[in-house]
Chain A
Amino acid sequence: MDFNDTPEEAAFRAEARAWLESNAERKGPDDAPPDLLGERTDSETVQRAQDWQKKKAEASWACLTWPKEVGGRGATAIQSVIWKQEESKFRTPPDIFGIGTGMCGPTIMTHGRDEQKKRWLPSLVTGEEIWCQLFSEPSAGSDLAGLRTSAVRDGEDWTVNGQKIWTTGAQFSDWGILVTRSDPNATKHAGLTYFVVDMHSPGVEIRPITQINGGQGFNEVFFNDVRIPDANRLGEVGDGWRVAITTLMNERASIGGGGGAGSVNELMKLAADTELNGKPAIEDSAVRQRIAEFYVRSKGLQFTGNRTLTALSRGTTPGPEASLGKLVGGKLIQDMAAFGIELEGFCGSLTQEGLAPQDATWQNRYLGIPGLRIAGGTDEVLRNIIAERVLRLPPEQRLDKGVPFRDVPTGPPSK
């Protein structure tokens, strides 16, 4: 039992590091941590991100696990993780390609025809074209298969109408993966069809969503008589749910890493620098108890990540058990943020620059974190996944099985 690379992994790490050393700058201790929920990205940042992606692609450091024929490196999953670990130590532009390379690409590889793979995959690797995911709708979030955006066949095209929401990066994306309802008379999961949509098509309208923290990482995307060629369909008509599952499996395959160990350090520093009842808060037993609990959970997450990496290193693909990282980690960061604010006493309310302790780290995190507990699977959905797919418990009984979708009960339209 150890934390070391195998000799092959060490050699690969050295190769990755060498390339990074000569193509990027190492991060310093004062570099800001990465944004948890991406803020709106300006065009200059998008360009820098594209330049970096292209540079990586030219040296085969993009989409490492993809086959060489489509521009990948044919690398193993553990090599891909090693690359990400090394890359994260360097100053690089924000990763705006994660959805494309992590979810869209693998779905096209699994369900696309040869000409579709040839058309879309190479430019996805090089970052020349950017992708987004058009799944959630105002009335279909956790219950994704309840989506209502309609696709109606019209000659060689389909006409799409409806609304998607929570679309990260829609404003600078060239392509989107889109799940639609092509048959409202079929049962819920059977009436779906999956497309690739050109985001520059007439009738696509994108509006930013302002989050509770003022950020604008997401968009609403409206489809008004948008025409999609049938050639852009992925999978069979009515088989969209199976294709969507491929996308979602890839979304969850991304490994939860650090688990907030850095945050515990910051919290200890805060508790050392803040007074409580006339002495440093870190000497207060209630404070010590809480921070110890945070620390133990964050290390538990970190070592769970190490166990997952071990499985990857041995060639096993992580399954639904990877849901643990997001479920435990989201709540943990929220609890730590709440505690950090409270440690600051009266000043815990401040977000004013120059006055807020620790640059309002905890306040900003507190306002940002509720989104993380919802995006990409709410805590409740993750618990269902663990219960049904890891623990194999029986599914919840439901009222939408075997019923034509148009007859599934719905609530009143949301405001």
Chain B
Amino acid sequence: MNFDFSEDQKLLQKTAKDYLEEHSPLTVCREVLESDAPYARDLWKGAAQLGWLGTAIPEEYGGAGFGYLELAVIAEEIGRALAPIPFASSVYLASEALLRFGSDTQKQKYLPELASGEWIGTFAVAERPGQNGAEGIETSFAGGVLSGTKVPVLDGDVANFAVVVARSGHGSGLSLVLTDLDGDGVEREAIKSIDPSRSTARVVFSKAPAELLGEDGPGDGAGQTDALLDRAAVLMAFEQLGGAARAFESTLEFTQGRYAFGRPIASFQAIKHRLADLWCEIELARSNCYYGAWALSNEDSELGIAACNSRISSSHAFDLAGVEMIQLYGGVGYTWEYDCHLFYRRAKLLSVALGNPASWKDKLITRLLESRAAAASAEARNTDD
């Protein structure tokens, strides 16, 4: 049994952690939260210089040529630091979309720029409240131009280009298309969100020039969106895990230093038991995250199920950690001055960023039923032999 990261991967994680402790203390997150700055530009440059943006991009496209296990440990540290940079949009979504579905020409054009951090990419799927995937898309792509409104688009105000889910008339009726966000026919504005330490935009396309992602457009935009969300879900789950662990550790420290009734509040069972329960949730999330990382790095057929597990477990752990953090800090936890709300906000942002937990739970049951049906018919075939 070797269900753990390797020593090299742990060393990479330690390096990332050390770097972020020095260059991304919570004051950096807070600066973005409190200003109009969409993200921490210096930190983004640093992440690019360290090669993090191209971790899973092959060397031929300007990346570091590592795998998803390496990307996962970096994601955990990005999450731990609440790093205010467009890492998820550019790395888990835009880069993955290109790697997985892009034509070689598109890969040649975009991936080196993504790996170097010169370009920021994002993924635009959302259009309306209640949406959690590629359902009900109205944005359309025809004759080489894109029209429609995407909201919210994470980092849509700063990204250079987007991978957009649009109705195309091909196959399922949906396709992924690539469009330049600085070009003609694109209007975008930053909009307010629950977590202003990450930027969110509304992007309006009015006959914006665009091209299908991939050579001739397989027309399976719905399936591609699902596949992309699965991959991003595993990586984002590590971010959520890192955030949850940091919130938890801060709460442990605070409750031991805070005295009431003549003793540290962490000595009361009412507090201890909540912390023990929270620890359990974070450990379960970690275990499910490892499962996701294993499936992603092996391109295993269980990836769809593992992604659901990682996402559901980590979303729950980070949400709970944020909620408990404020509650256990007490009054000061509710102040702007204390950092609790940074975690509380980020947790909620991430828990809906790739579709809400309920949608992932539903997806999980669908996939379990499919996998069972497949296993049963395989068994029936074997029995026939």
Q: Which residues of A contact B (CB under 8 A)?
A: 1-6, 9, 78, 268, 272, 282, 285, 288-289, 291-293, 295-297, 299-304, 306-307, 309-313, 321, 324, 327-328, 380, 382-384, 386-388, 390-391, 393-397
Contact = CB atoms under 8 A, between A and B. Distances in A.
Contacts of A296: 284, 288, 308-309, 312-313, 361, 364
B5 A282 contact: no
Contacts of A382: 276
B354 to A, nearest CB: 16
24 contacts: A1-B69, A3-B2, A292-B361, A293-B312, A293-B361, A295-B309, A299-B288, A299-B309, A301-B287, A306-B287, A307-B4, A307-B286, A324-B283, A324-B284, A327-B280, A382-B276, A383-B269, A383-B277, A387-B276, A391-B252, A394-B267, A396-B267, A396-B269, A397-B267
A292 B287 contact: no
Contact of A1 (B6, B276, B285, B313): B6
Contact of B290 (A288, A307, A391, A394): A307
Interface in B1-25: 1-6
B264 A394 contact: yes
A303 B291 CA distance: 7
A300 B284 contact: yes
B362 interface: yes
B365 A1 contact: no
Contacts of A288: 361-362, 365
Given A1-B2, A312-B1, 5 more contacts: A293-B361, A304-B287, A307-B3, A324-B279, A393-B252
A326 to B, nearest CB: 11
Contacts of A388: 272
B170 interface: no
Contacts of A327: 276, 280
Nearest to B284: A300
Contact of A306 (B3, B255, B273, B313): B3
B164 to A, nearest CB: 29
B276 to A, nearest CB: 4
Contacts of B269: 380, 383-384, 396
B283 A304 contact: yes
A1 to B, nearest CB: 5
A97 B120 CA distance: 63
Given A1-B5, A6-B2, A395 B267 contact: yes
A296 B309 CA distance: 5
B6 A289 contact: no
Contacts of B291: 299, 303
A324 B282 CA distance: 11
A4 B4 CA distance: 12
Interface in B290-316: 290-291, 293-294, 297, 308-309, 312-313
Contacts of A295: 309, 364, 368
Interface of B: 1-6, 69, 252, 255-256, 263-264, 266-269, 272-273, 275-277, 279-280, 283-288, 290-291, 293-294, 297, 308-309, 312-313, 358, 360-362, 364-365, 368-369, 372
A310 B4 contact: yes
Contacts of B264: 394
Contacts of B293: 1
A321 B255 CA distance: 21
A78 B280 contact: no
Contacts of B275: 387, 391, 393
A148 B372 CA distance: 55
Most central of B2, B252, B362, B372 by chain A CB within 10 Å = B2
Contacts, number: 157
A55 to B, nearest CB: 28
Given A1-B5, A2-B2, A4-B2, A300 B294 contact: no
B361 A289 contact: yes
A397 B267 CA distance: 7
A321 B268 CA distance: 20
Given A285-B362, A396-B269, A391 B3 contact: no
A116 B268 CA distance: 43
A380 to B, nearest CB: 7
Contact of B362 (A292, A380, A387): A292
A310 B2 contact: yes
A241 to B, nearest CB: 22
A1 B362 contact: no
B368 A300 contact: no
Contacts of A297: 284
A297 B313 CA distance: 8
Contact of B284 (A2, A304, A310): A304
Contacts of A384: 269, 272-273, 276
A268 B361 contact: no
Contacts of A285: 358, 362
Contact of B294 (A2, A5, A293, A312): A2
B280 A386 contact: yes
A390 B372 CA distance: 38
B283 A313 contact: no
Contacts of A304: 283-284, 287
Contacts of B360: 292
- Closest A-B pairs by Cβ, 4 of them: A300-B284, A292-B361, A303-B287, A387-B272
Given A1-B293, A307-B3, A328 B284 contact: yes
Contacts of B272: 383-384, 387-388, 391, 393, 396
A224 B362 CA distance: 61
Nearest to B317: A300
A285 B362 CA distance: 7
Contact of B256 (A300, A309, A394): A394
Contacts of B273: 380, 383-384, 387
Given A299-B309, A391-B275, A1 B290 contact: yes
Contacts of B290: 1, 303, 306-307
A289 B294 contact: no
A307 B291 CA distance: 10
Nearest to B262: A397
Most central of A9, A296, A306 by chain B CB within 10 Å = A296
Contacts of B255: 393
A366 to B, nearest CB: 22
A272 to B, nearest CB: 8
A386 B3 CA distance: 23
